[in-house]
Amino acid sequence: MRTAIVKRLAPFVLVAGVLAGCSTTTAEAETDQTVTSTVTSTDGNVTVEAAVAANAQYTAGDTTWDSSDATSITLDGSTATSDSDAVSIDGSTVTITAAGTYVLTGTLDDGSIIVDTADDGAVTIVLDDASISSSTTPALQVTDADEVVVVLADGSTNSLSDTSAAVDTATSDLPNATLYSTADLTIGGSGALTVTSANNDGITSKDGLVITGGTISVQAADDGIRGKDFLVVEGGTLTVDAGGDGLKSDQDSDETMGYVLITGGTVDVTAGDDGITATTDVIIADGTVTVVAGGGHGTSVADDESPKGVNADVSVVIGGGTLDVDAADDAIGTTGAVAVAGGALTLAAGDDGIHADGALGISGGTVTITDSYEGLESMTVTISGGDTSVVASDDGLNATDTSASGQGSMSAQSGVSATISGGTLVIDAGGDGLDSNGDLTVTGGTVVVNGPENSGNGSLDANGTFTVTGGVLLAAGSSGMAQTPSSSSSQSSVSLTLSQAVQAGTVLQVLDSDGTVLATFTTSKTVQNVVYSSSSITSGETYQLVSGGTASGSSTGGLAESGDASGATVEATGTAGAETSGMGGGQQQGGGGGNRP
């Protein structure tokens, strides 16, 4: 259990179906309000309310301001002017020493704006066509304040840049970003801001960082945008090009912090390392997010590098919006859990499309993995809704304990399972299609597997119990390792093996003994075995697999709504209900006997 600290409370739109993780310790509350959540890093199906409640809460700073109450600071090349006693000017260094609103205009060359105040209340800095550059320090730095709000004035274009030497943040608390704050920082407004760091991070808050609006472009040699306690994006348009991580939160001393939350806006990240990364949770509730990490899925990286698109130590949560990821390593990866309950995801990965050491749950939304080594991988995989399609050069779905020894063993791994109870799942796999090193269970939904063409893999592969109690399952592929559900399954299946493989583009149809078409499938690759299970299959009955005829209606991974078998050729005959082992040449059903001309 994790007891979440409520640091500040703020309302925002919650999109159902996201996940947050927890550890086994309890953190002390900073105030007298606490929220308790029973979220675990091995649960792939929890609500967005639980995800948010399990983390420290936040309040975005107020970005509204009144010009009549504001102090003007005019930047003029190598110096600046202001008539306020709260503004100290020493050459090109401008120091703000009291809470209030300050409007900056003009250009400051090789200078710095410093906020250093012990006052209660916010310091609001309005950038109104302001350009600040520095060669030795951050262009804008907060050394001491209760809270800082940076407002991008309507219609304004602003820039912050520095070329100061990089700081090793692992051993130093020195300023290491062009826009650097030791206090909670909010950035908003409707203007534009360009942040450039030749050696360091772009924007960093050592407390929390909230972005509510503006058009913000960050180019950084190291990390792009970093909120140590948390990083929240509520709105605006963010474009980040970072040599290190793109968006980041890395508080590791408080289990309710170190999270990234996106509830709106448009985020476009190009990163040399992880696109979005968090010590605890990455939660995407809404918005449009695009990530390219490590050069994309076709890029080779060093053995000690693993650029992931979205990465978290506890959980990754997708509840809405759109997410488009192209990553050299995993598109989405975590040592805890992943939950997808909504949104539209398009993922390309050099390694796994979605990887979770603990649990992976898909209950809604659309997940499209266009390229991967393995598509979906976790100790437990649960698919209860949504529309998921996977292209993988190896296994399409792989339920496995990656920490277990003896990965090549045929024995079942304890605690490993894959369960499909709803939605649609379409797999195109070069290795095993549905692969569980433990149990494999189908209770509902529609599953279509375009499996391997080589005999060393199978469309279906379970080391433990393989049962089907509902739904529709069609798996087509090679015959060498063909496996069918257990004969103890409450819903029957039939395995039909052709004497000669058919090529891609062939219409195959499953017929009952009366010649009624039960399933029509168009192959996308070479196929020699078809396993079919649905409520229309009866144990002990005989079925035929024919080639030819026509498919009609909409298609799910090649499985058509309906078909006509007129003029088709019988390729195989089999009896439903008998189990085949698939473990090195167990007896196959329906082998031979085809009427191919």
Beta bridge mates, 417: 380, 439
pLDDT per residue as tens digits for the range 88-103? 999 999 999 999 999 9
Give 155-188 as a 3 state SS string. CCEEEEEECCCCCCCCCCCCCCEEEEECCEEEEE
pLDDT per residue as tens digits for the range 205-229? 999 999 999 999 999 999 999 999 9
Tokens 């050729």 -> residue: 569
Q: What would the DSSP string read from start to end of 63-87?
A: ----GGGEEEEEEEETEEE---TTE
Q: What angle do CA 298, 296, 285 make, to 5 degrees?
A: 140
C-alpha–C-alpha distance, residues 438 and 464, integer Å: 5
Indicate if the pLDDT at residue 12 is higher than 60. Answer: no
* Pairing label, strands 559-564, 366-371: unpaired
Indicate if the pLDDT at residue 340 is higher than 80. Answer: yes
Give yes or no for a contact between 384 and 421, defined as CB atoms under 8 angstroms apart: yes
Q: What is the dihedral of CA 303, 305, 309, 315, to 10 degrees?
A: 100
204: left (phi over 0), alpha (psi -120 to 50) or beta: beta
* Pairing label, strands 559-564, 337-340: unpaired
315: amino acid identity, one letter: S
Residue-level pLDDT at 378? 97
Indicate if the pLDDT at residue 202 is higher than 90. Answer: yes
Percent of the chain with pLDDT over 90: 81
Lowest-confidence range among 35-44, 180-189, 524-533? 35-44
Residue-level pLDDT at 20? 37
Residue-level pLDDT at 42? 56
Spatial CA neighbour of 54 closest among 235, 354, 278, 255: 255
Indicate if the pLDDT at residue 195 is higher than 80. Answer: yes
Interval 391-395 mean pLDDT: 98
Mean of pLDDT over the chain: 88
Interval 35-62 mean pLDDT: 69
Give yes or no for a contact between 177 and 137, defined as CB atoms under 8 angstroms apart: no
